[in-house]
């Protein structure tokens, strides 16, 4: 067997969590990531028949039975993952009953996956139904996006439109817009179900006064979506109440959509 600490999927998770902590998106133990792995690739590093222990997920995920995920641990600080990957990360497989996770590696201190795992699994199922290539669900607390929650209407059309106005790349990067949820108690199935419902339309979902969920075919795509929203939110918060002399007009967004051949939310424009 190859050394799993040098597996590309583990090294990428270590790099991205360290980067997210450095950016201030994941203070303390805030934020979580789950990545669906290729079983054949995993088999190069682990014996899939060696189940260390089983952990109830608190959610029935029958469509994901047999799927393998690399998941950040509950209560773990992203800043510590580079030092203690085997403690703070885990590789799990959804067991045949659909409600149990089989631990194949990690959580070496007796820990378990993030408390948001049900929300992740629900979102994975929603995104896979829309895009079979989806592999990643990422949750974090980007500073300017969070600040924007307090001074901007939490409504999908308005929120998306404002972000699209901030940077030319925004319409190109997330033409499907941004889903928005009001403040809800986190860590339960209710917010997971609400997020999964939004994920049927959006790859990005704002949790009001909490953070942001992103989905993608790989970590780069999910991370790129979040960092683009965060840049736009930063611009919005920097200009604040200053009078806007210039802006990207809706007619220009239409031109942009035509130039890039985008299938964007035309109903989110004010034309």
Q: What is the mean pLDDT of residues 232-256?
A: 95
Based on the domain organization, do 92 and 126 belong to the same domain?
Answer: no
Based on the domain organization, do 129 and 263 belong to the same domain?
Answer: yes
Task: Find, among 104, 35, 111, the residue nearest to 73 by Cα.
Answer: 111
pTM, two decimals, is 0.94
Instruction: Flag whether pLDDT at 5 surpasses 90.
Output: yes
Residue 154 phi, psi dihedral angles, 5° rounding: -90, 75
pLDDT for 216: 97
Burial 133-168 (b: 16+ CB within 10 A, else e): ebbbbbbbbbbbbbebbeebebebbebbbbbbbbbe
For the segment 169-202, what is each residue's pLDDT rounded down to a tens digit?
999 999 999 999 999 998 788 999 999 999 999 9
For the segment 128-164, what is each residue's pLDDT rounded down to a tens digit?
999 999 999 999 999 999 999 999 999 999 999 999 9
Q: What is the mean pLDDT of residues 7-15?
A: 97
Based on the domain organization, do 253 and 196 belong to the same domain?
Answer: yes
pLDDT for 188: 83
Q: What is the mean pLDDT of residues 90-118?
A: 96
Based on the domain organization, do 40 and 163 belong to the same domain?
Answer: no
Based on the domain organization, do 256 and 139 belong to the same domain?
Answer: yes
Based on the domain organization, do 74 and 32 belong to the same domain?
Answer: yes
Based on the domain organization, do 193 and 167 belong to the same domain?
Answer: yes
Domain boundary among 95, 115, 135: 115
For the segment 214-227, what is each residue's pLDDT rounded down to a tens digit?
999 999 999 999 99
Q: What is the DSSP letter of 111?
A: -
Q: In whole numbers, what is the pLDDT of the chain averaged over residues? A: 96
Is residue 71 exposed (0-12), middle (13-18) or buried (19+ Cβ within 10 Å)?
Answer: buried
Annotation says 116 is catalytic: yes
Domain boundary among 97, 115, 133: 115
pLDDT grade for 1, boundaries at 50, 70 and 90: confident
pLDDT for 58: 87
Instruction: Flag whether pLDDT at 44 surpasses 90.
Output: yes
pLDDT for 205: 98
Instruction: Flag whether pLDDT at 33 surpasses 90.
Output: yes
Count of the separate structural domains present in the chain: 2
Instruction: Flag whether pLDDT at 16 surpasses 90.
Output: yes
pLDDT for 186: 85
List of residues 6+ apart from 128 with CB closer than 8 A: 63, 134
The two structure tokens encoding residue 202: 């959006």
The residue segments making up the domain with residue 162 are 122-271
Query: Which of 11, 102, 116, 230 is the catalytic position?
Result: 116
For the segment 64-100, what is each residue's pLDDT rounded down to a tens digit?
999 999 999 999 999 999 999 999 999 999 999 999 9
Cα–Cα distance for residue pair 8/4, rounded to 1 Å: 9
Contact status, residue 201 vs residue 176, Cβ threshold 8 Å: yes
Domain boundary among 115, 134, 150: 115
Based on the domain organization, do 70 and 108 belong to the same domain?
Answer: yes
Tell me, what CATH number does 169's domain have?
A: 3.40.225.10
């Amino acid at each position: 067997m190859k050394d799993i600490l040098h597996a590309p999927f583990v090294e990428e998770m270590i790099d991205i969590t360290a980067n997210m902590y450095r950016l201030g998106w994941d203070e303390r133990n805030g934020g979580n990531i789950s990545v669906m792995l290729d079983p054949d690739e995993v088999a190069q590093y682990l014996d899939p028949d060696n189940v260390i222990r089983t952990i109830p997920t608190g959610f029935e995920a029958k469509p994901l039975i047999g799927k393998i995920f690399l998941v950040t641990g509950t209560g773990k600080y992203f800043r510590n993952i580079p030092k203690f990957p085997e403690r703070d990360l885990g590789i799990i497989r959804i067991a045949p009953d659909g409600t149990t996770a089989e631990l194949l590696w990690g959580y070496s201190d007796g820990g378990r996956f993030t408390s948001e795992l049900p929300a992740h699994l629900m979102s994975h199922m929603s995104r896979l139904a829309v895009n079979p290539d989806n592999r990643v669900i990422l949750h974090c607390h980007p500073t300017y996006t969070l600040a924007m929650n307090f001074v901007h209407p939490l409504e999908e059309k308005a929120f998306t439109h404002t972000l699209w106005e901030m940077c030319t790349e925004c319409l190109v990067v997330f033409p499907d817009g941004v889903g928005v949820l009001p403040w809800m108690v986190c860590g339960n199935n209710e917010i997971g179900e609400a997020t999964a419902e939004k994920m049927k339309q959006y790859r990005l979902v704002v949790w009001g006064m909490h953070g942001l969920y992103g989905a993608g075919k790989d970590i780069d795509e999910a991370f790129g979506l979040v960092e683009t929203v965060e840049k736009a939110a930063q611009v919005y918060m920097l200009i604040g109440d200053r009078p806007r002399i210039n802006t990207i007009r809706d007619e220009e967004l239409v031109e942009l959509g035509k130039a890039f051949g985008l299938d964007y939310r035309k109903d989110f424009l004010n034309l």
